[in-house]
Amino acid sequence: MLLTRHARERLVKRLAKRRKLERVYTELWDFLDRSRKIEVNERVVIFTDGTKSLVCARLDCERLSLNEIMERVGSIKGTYECVFFDERIAKETVPRKFLERIPDGTYCFYINREKRSLYVGSEPPLLVITLRPAKKSERNVN
């Protein structure tokens, strides 16, 4: 799960109360644990806990082995916002150094060089668009 700048600001304001990246993602994952998932269509997913809703868009990814991912990011020298969804790790670091902590396997891989973000996980990535108050139809938790 990756964040837009707007979504990060909303999460800081409504949930995390701190700007530190690890803190924001910790609060995001806590929110996901207590939320239910609503599939709007094939591109949009909403997570809601009855009071707040997290609106997400699916991102296209590639399924690659860890070695192939290492080859792709080997030439990157700058820091990226790196997210490993399976173990819920989020850090701002050099991608090669970050990938050393990940166990061997085949993962969904997404990188955005303009926004300097990297995602690795067993599930396809989601881009968090915003955190907003839940609509009336999203409030009744089943």
Render pLDDT for 53-91 as a digit per residue (tens, 0 to 9).
999 999 999 999 999 999 999 889 899 999 999 989 999
Distance CA 54, CA 31 (A): 9
Per-residue pLDDT tens for 82-129? Answer: 999 998 999 999 999 999 989 999 999 999 999 999 999 999 999 999
Task: Please say if the pLDDT value at position 50 is more than 60.
Answer: yes
48 pLDDT higher than 80: yes
* Residue at 36 is within a domain: yes
Token pair for 57: 């868009």
**Number of structural domains the chain divides into:** 1
Q: Which residue has the tokens 């939320």?
A: 35
Q: Tokens standing for 22?
A: 């690890």
pTM of the model: 0.87
pLDDT given at position 16: 84
Return the CA Rg of the chain: 15
* pLDDT reported for residue 141: 54
Q: Is 141 contained in some domain?
A: no
122 in Cβ contact with 85 (< 8 Å): yes
Q: Which helix (H) or strand (E) holds 38?
A: strand 36-39
- Has residue 142 got a pLDDT over 80? no
pLDDT of residue 74: 87
* Secondary structure (DSSP) of 79-90: -EEEEETTTTEE
Helix (H, G, I), strand (E, B) or coil at 127: strand
Q: In the numeric block, which tokens belong to residue 68?
A: 């192939």
The answer to whether residue 53 sits within a structural domain is yes
pLDDT band for position 138 (cuts 50, 70, 90):
confident
pLDDT of 15? 86
| The pair of three-digit structure tokens given for residue 114, joined into one six-digit string | 């303009």
Domain range for 33 is 2-136
* 35 in Cβ contact with 48 (< 8 Å): yes
pLDDT band at 42 (very low <50, low <70, confident <90, very high): very high
Point out which residues pair with 47 in neighbouring strands.
Answer: 37, 54
| Domain-embedded: residue 142 | no
d(CA 92, CA 81) in angstroms, rounded, equals 4
